[in-house]
Structure formats: C-alpha cells, structure tokens
Structure 1
Amino acid sequence: MGMALARKGTRALTVDGTRYRWVVAPDDEPGLGIVVEAADSPGLRMVAWVEHGNTISPWLVREAILRALAQGWQPQARGPDFVLRLPAHLRRGV
C-alpha cells in the first residue's frame, strides 16, 4: 500500500458528497499519474494514468474518480493502489 498523500501540495475536490485530495505524480512515465485518496479517511489510493497531452483539470480528476468507483475502487479500504488507465485525449462530454 502506498503512503498517504501529504496535505501540502494537494488539491481538494468533492465528488458526490465525498471529499478527495489529489496531486499529479512527480514520476511521469508512462504518462501523467494522478494520485487520489479520500480526504477524510485515506485508505486505498487510486492512481489514474493519462497520456501526455491531456490537460489535468478538476473535470479530468472527477472523471477518473467516477470511472475508478464504477470499476470497484473502494477509497476507504486497505490494500495496494488501484490503478486506472484513462483513454487517450479524454475530453469533456465524450
């Protein structure tokens, strides 16, 4: 299991009433990694990989969270990071 995110340098986002914290991972291979965890009870982190060329925005992070939850991510559980690969050039409304 990965370490909890440091509060400094993370951004907050609320999705469906749950608060999350997220940061773009410093290691950018094989793309850009977005690391997300529940803000109030961090447990299982989600790492979403997106290809270079995507703009990392709150909308994209929200989309990653919703897709991860739909695929079984349980943010309050314990265990290894939940890894998600987002489609290339994901755009709002697509």
Structure 2
Amino acid sequence: MAIPKKGSRLITVDGTIFRWRVRRKPTYCQGNSWGPMTFSVELADAPGRVLLASLPCSRPDAWLGERTIAIRPALVTATVRMALGHGWGPRQAGNAFDLALTDSDLTELMNGQPPAYDVPFMRG
C-alpha cells in the first residue's frame, strides 16, 4: 500500500526522507469522533511498509465537538522514531504497521510537554 503523493509532505528523520499524509476528508467514523485522528508515513524513495499512527483524539474537522490536535512535523518526526524503536521496518514488505499513541506517549514525544489539545466551541 502506498501513500498518494498528492497532499503528502516530505520530512527528513535522522537522514532518511519520509513522506507523510493526513487523510484529506474524515471517514464517517472519524467525522462522528468515533475513530481516532490518524496519519500515515512511508519512505519517500522506495515502496515498503507503511506506518499508520493513531492519536488519542479526534480530527479538527470532526462534526462533533471533541478534543483535537494539529499534526505538526515535530510530532511526525518523534512518531517515526518511536515506531522504528518498536520494530517498524519501512523497507520491509507487508501490511501497515499500526502504532496507537496514548496521552502519555504524546507527552513523552513532545519532550515532557503535555499535548496542546483544542476543544472546539459547541453551540447549544
């Protein structure tokens, strides 16, 4: 499985170039805040195993007001390093490598800073 080049961004982690992408539109479950915010990462220059990272929050464009987080390059870099440490082999063939991050994982990845969640204003 490969990540579409359109809408993806390149990032260099420890000298290796990766391509990462957030799905353009939420799935029905993500739109209802039933599913987590996800992003995918793969090597930019060769096919291989894709990393699918799930965050413990909703997408910013979810239809229901839940806590959200913006995915920034620093978070992607830290997630790639964590996935490599957990056995992700981006040059290997195979199914996607699922990495479900928790709140404590996010705090650790952001150098001890708790994640800056955004809770959208709900009209009532």
Q: TM-score, normalised by structure 2?
A: 0.68
Higher-strand-fraction structure:
1
Partner of 1:93: 111
After TM superposition, list the pairs within 5 Å mapping 1:1-94 onto structure 2: 3-25=1-23, 26-27=26-27, 28=30, 30-52=35-57, 53-88=68-103, 90-91=106-107, 92-94=110-112
Query: What percent of counterpart residues are identical?
Result: 38
Query: Structure 2 regions of 5+ residues with no counterpart?
Result: 58-67, 113-124
Give RMSD over aligned pairs.
1.5
Would you say how many aligned residue pairs link Structure 1 and Structure 2?
92
The structure having more radius of gyration, on CA atoms, is 2
Q: Deviation above 6 Å: which 4+ runs of structure 1?
A: none
Q: TM-score, normalised by structure 1?
A: 0.88
